[in-house]
A and B are shown apart, each in its own frame.
Chain A
Amino acid sequence: MLDPRFSSERPHVSRRGFLRLTGAGVAGGALVTMLDARKAPAQLKGTSLRILMWSHFVPAYDTWLDDFAKKWGEKTGVKVRMDHIPHLELPARYAAEFAAGAGHDLIYFVGQILTGQYYRNLVDLSDLAEGLAKKYGAWMPASKSAGQVGGAWYGVPDFFISIPVLWRKDLLESVGVNNPDTWDDLRKAARLLKPKGHPTGMQFSHCNDANHNWRSLLYCFGGKETDPSGQNLTLDSKETREALRFAKALYDEGMTPEVFSWDDASDNRYLASGVACWVHDAISAFRTTQDTNPKVFEQTYVLPEAKGPVAHLNMGEPNVWAIWKFSKNVPAAKEFIQTIADHQKEAMEASRGYNMPFLKNQYTKPMPGLGGDAKLSALQEQDKITVFFGYPGPMTPAAQEVLTTFIVPDMFTRVARGADIEETMKWGMGEIRRIYTKHKAG
């Protein structure tokens, strides 16, 4: 998809054509106005910009983004280089660049939000973030801590990934679960379908999906990682114990032991193969199934999140832009963030509805990639149920470390394997306390 701003052809417009174009501009004007209104600062011309980016889960999005960056570079006279690295490998690269004091001008935190860890070495982007909030409505309250430290914005949220329930209508209806809505419905379906060769599966392992899935369940059962300040731990609760108990039953009744060795892609394969009765995964799994097994895809539906006994919450995965202080081209990096934010609709379309926006006005229906698809249209309300790790506290460096050390999924794994819930709580809280104490001391 080519952005009209980036056309390299010289315009051949007559006066009549000009009047016609300006007339059309009134009708379709919002987009064109937005595109032309921003003029890149002249001093950017002849500079270069190196961007460190993740490899998007929807490969077509990377193709679009690379092209977007290239056209933006042609328009502004900036030589752009976009390097893609898988999200799990990014922290090692950040560490190397931080140690060297050199590297990419513009970087990208995916899921593992390291704003709190590196903010002393990141450029203050408050003007940019606050400008975006003015232009496109307020930021989702839960997202602020992905970019803010001490009230200043050191990262600009780009989009978040939603992790809904993907379920097989034909299979669930065959056991009388016609419209699954709660975790109990999902448990019942798995219990009845496992003997028929259609179990479910959620990762009991060290991978991103394990962090999301079990946290979503935990939050739906009323479990809370900290208080709203993020300073005091509140995970040791009867709600957390209930969530652990439920997960153990869900595993015993509806899963097979292979889930202990699953990675992020395993549930995609499980769904696409036609085996799973439901999985809890990003819509990239939905798209994989669409591309590889049309028959199964026809029967695959999307539930934004199952309701728990206490809450209806889904843990999203935030993605954030940031700029190193040692960047050689801060103005170009800021201009690029602004431009990509101005093209959120095209970005969301290119990601096939995967990139969920953080800004309020970007939830105007129909949303690109979602509004036109009956199965996905319910995700247009996803901002109302989305929270992030550390809930209900902010995504502090301590919460981040708890996330990256997989303590919460490990607690669920221990219980699923038969460990005593009280002993597991004791172990988990000990690990988490150690991390929080270290961060408080530091």
Chain B
Amino acid sequence: MATVAVATPYRAPRTERAKSIRRHVLIYLGLLPFLGLAVFPIFWMLVTALKQEPDLYRMDVVPFWFHLPPTWKNFDFLFHRTSYGDWIVNTMAIAFWVSAITLLTAVPAGYALARLRLPFAENLGIGIFMTYLVPGIILFLPLARVVSTLELQDSWWSLVAVYPTITIPFCTWLLMGFFKTVPFEIEEAAMVDGCGQLGALLRVVLPVSWPGLITAVIFSFTLSMQDFLYALAFVSVSDQKPVPLGVATELIRGDVYFWGSLMAGALLVGVPVAIVYNLFLDKFISGITGAAIK
């Protein structure tokens, strides 16, 4: 009986390198749709910011690219016909002061609640956090009186006075959780070496808690940069406005939208902040998760 040998094609054993490439290709292919979703708004902002006005109103062509030569006109309008420069400076100044006030207040508050074994500390922490949940739409009317009494109406300093009412409760709760993750032993070791309570906080606890501090700063910074309602209620002078209020109130006129300049304004502030935010992303995640597990 004759046998027929069936020849199977030779398949070389897959190398580790080939496996790694295949794995990475699959991972990146899987990530591609998410990347597209994340990057598309930025791409759209860029294209719109550089488009001529008539190009924006054409519906008979693919809108994702230029059909008339790109223009800097929208950026020019933003910087020369509005107070955009002032808006950026105001936004950064507000964000800086709010972050500083928040840290100066939330660090001792969070530390005291986490470490000093105060009676009702846990409930007090929850109570402080609960105030963060009160919607701004309810608070802006009573706060208007506070701002008026302080004679800060129509000045960006009014926002420096108001935003900490939102940032301090959240950051106190966040830092309270974070300080709980710092082992008592290292603080006690510092005290054995001669530190007082304050010295231990400054020299030992804070240096190991800096992901939490970064998280508090990022939270305060982003909240200051994205608020609209309080800014609208308390600031109406053009050169005192922060960016979110400025672009929305001066580049939208009823049913006339300055699309190009709106997108240019958002792009110029959004992209640098996103880059800086990414630099601290790992710290931010560990800060949030560090606070969450306790």
Residues on A lying within 8 angstroms of B by beta carbon are 52, 54-59, 62, 81, 83-87, 89, 92-93, 95-97, 99-104, 208-209, 263-265, 267-269, 272-275, 281-282, 284-285, 288, 291-293
In whole angstroms, what is the CA distance A274 to B60 when docked?
A: 9
> Could you show 9 A-B contacts with beta carbons less than 8 Å apart?
A86-B254, A92-B140, A96-B233, A99-B142, A100-B147, A264-B255, A272-B57, A274-B60, A292-B56
Q: A85-B232, A100-B153, A102-B148 are in contact. Are A275 and B252 (CB under 8 A)?
A: no
In whole angstroms, what is the CA distance A263 to B252 when docked?
A: 12
| Residue B59 is within 8 A (CB to CB) of chain A in the complex | yes
Which residues 202-248 of B have a CB within 8 angstroms of A? 229, 232-234, 236-238, 248
Chain B residues with CB below 8 A from A208, complex form: 254
| Residue B253 is within 8 A (CB to CB) of chain A in the complex | yes
A59 lies within 8 A of B256 (CB): yes
Chain A residues with CB below 8 A from B232, complex form: 85, 89, 92-93
Chain B residues with CB below 8 A from A54, complex form: 254
| Residue B86 is within 8 A (CB to CB) of chain A in the complex | no
Interface residues on B, range: 20 to 34
| Residue B257 is within 8 A (CB to CB) of chain A in the complex | yes
B237 lies within 8 A of A83 (CB): yes
Interface secondary structure of B, over-half rule: helix
Chain B residues with CB below 8 A from A96, complex form: 140-141, 144, 233-234
Closest to B235 in A: A83
In whole angstroms, what is the CA distance A84 to B144 when docked?
A: 19
Q: A100-B147, A269-B57, A275-B59 are in contact. Are A284 and B234 (CB under 8 A)?
A: no
Nearest-CB distance from B125 to chain A (Å)? 31
In whole angstroms, what is the CA distance A46 to B200 when docked?
A: 59
Nearest-CB distance from A271 to chain B (Å)? 9
Chain B residues with CB below 8 A from A274, complex form: 58-60
Chain B residues with CB below 8 A from A97, complex form: 144
Nearest-CB distance from A210 to chain B (Å)? 12
Q: A83-B237, A100-B145 are in contact. Are A209 and B249 (CB under 8 A)?
A: no
A57 lies within 8 A of B253 (CB): yes
Partner of B144, one of A52, A100, A269, A288: A100
A99 lies within 8 A of B144 (CB): yes
Closest to A317 in B: B254
Chain B residues with CB below 8 A from A100, complex form: 144-145, 147-148, 153
| Residue B188 is within 8 A (CB to CB) of chain A in the complex | no
| Residue B54 is within 8 A (CB to CB) of chain A in the complex | yes
In whole angstroms, what is the CA distance A103 to B56 when docked?
A: 39
A284 lies within 8 A of B237 (CB): no
Chain A residues with CB below 8 A from B148, complex form: 100-102
B140 lies within 8 A of A59 (CB): no
Chain B residues with CB below 8 A from A265, complex form: 254-257
Nearest-CB distance from B88 to chain A (Å)? 20
B254 lies within 8 A of A284 (CB): yes
In whole angstroms, what is the CA distance A233 to B232 when docked?
A: 36
Chain B residues with CB below 8 A from A85, complex form: 232, 236, 249
Chain B residues with CB below 8 A from A275, complex form: 59
Partner of B253, one of A52, A56, A267, A273: A56
In whole angstroms, what is the CA distance A183 to B160 when docked?
A: 54
Closest to A50 in B: B154
B255 lies within 8 A of A86 (CB): no
Chain A residues with CB below 8 A from B257, complex form: 265
Q: A100-B148, A102-B153, A285-B255 are in contact. Are A89 and B249 (CB under 8 A)?
A: yes
Nearest-CB distance from B9 to chain A (Å)? 55
A288 lies within 8 A of B238 (CB): no
Closest to B248 in A: A86
Nearest-CB distance from A329 to chain B (Å)? 15
In whole angstroms, what is the CA distance A102 to B145 when docked?
A: 8
In whole angstroms, what is the CA distance A104 to B236 when docked?
A: 10
A268 lies within 8 A of B256 (CB): yes
Closest to A89 in B: B232
A57 lies within 8 A of B249 (CB): no
In whole angstroms, what is the CA distance A56 to B256 when docked?
A: 9
A288 lies within 8 A of B249 (CB): no
Closest to A111 in B: B254
Nearest-CB distance from B258 to chain A (Å)? 8
A101 lies within 8 A of B145 (CB): yes
17 further interface pairs, Cβ-Cβ under 8 Å (given A265-B257, A292-B53): A55-B250, A57-B254, A59-B256, A83-B154, A83-B237, A83-B238, A84-B238, A85-B232, A85-B236, A92-B233, A93-B236, A96-B141, A96-B234, A102-B153, A103-B153, A275-B59, A292-B54
In whole angstroms, what is the CA distance A42 to B145 when docked?
A: 33
B256 lies within 8 A of A57 (CB): yes
Nearest-CB distance from A159 to chain B (Å)? 14
Chain B residues with CB below 8 A from A268, complex form: 255-256
In whole angstroms, what is the CA distance A220 to B92 when docked?
A: 53
Q: A87-B254, A93-B236, A284-B254 are in contact. Are A273 and B59 (CB under 8 A)?
A: yes
B236 lies within 8 A of A52 (CB): yes
Partner of B141, one of A81, A95, A264: A95
B54 lies within 8 A of A293 (CB): yes
A273 lies within 8 A of B254 (CB): no
User: Which A-B residue pairs are the 9 nearest by beta carbons?
Assistant: A100-B148, A96-B233, A57-B254, A83-B236, A264-B255, A100-B144, A273-B59, A96-B144, A99-B141
Chain B residues with CB below 8 A from A264, complex form: 254-255
In whole angstroms, what is the CA distance A101 to B256 when docked?
A: 33
Closest to A104 in B: B236
